Amino acid sequence: MYKQEIASLMELKVPPALLFYVIFLLGLIFFVVNPNQNNTLVNVFLIGAFFGLVTYGTYDLTIYASMNIFSLKLVVADILWGMFLSGAVATLTVFTINKLN
């Protein structure tokens, strides 16, 4: 989907990409995983998905509002992906922590 819409603008820059994921994971651990280790996995997923909505939504909607490079379809797809990714990573992390303890 990205290649269809913004291929000419895409250039992988590894250091900032890695920095984003480090910061993102720290936020996910601080705001979702640590406070919810005793919560149900369904609730952890939902809280993680909300974190994804906030983080990916902030990025995508800012780009959509200020630059003419993303279609609404791409914005929605990326936000949904961020919600799923955040929920899944938070859930798997809490599940693993609980199994190890």
Residues 60-96 pLDDT 10s: 999 999 999 889 999 999 999 999 999 999 999 999 9
Q: Quick check: is 12 in a domain?
A: no
Number of domains in the chain: 1
In a domain, 64, yes or no: yes
| 95 occurs within a structural domain | yes
Q: Is residue 1 in a domain?
A: no
3-state secondary structure the chain: CHHHHHHHHCCCCHHHHHHHHHHHHHHHHHHHHHHHCCCCHHHHHHHHHHHHHHHHHHHHHHHHHHCCCCCHHHHHHHHHHHHHHHHHHHHHHHHHHHHHC
Q: Quote the pTM value.
A: 0.90
Query: How far apart are the C-alpha atoms of 1 and 44, rounded to whole Å?
Result: 29
The predicted structure's pLDDT at residue 2: 59
79 within domain boundaries: yes
The answer to whether position 101 is within a domain reads: yes
- Average of per-residue pLDDT across 30-45: 98
Whether 88 is covered by a domain: the verdict is yes
7 confidence band (pLDDT: 50, 70, 90): confident
Range of 98's domain?
A: 49-101
Q: So what's the pLDDT on residue 82?
A: 98
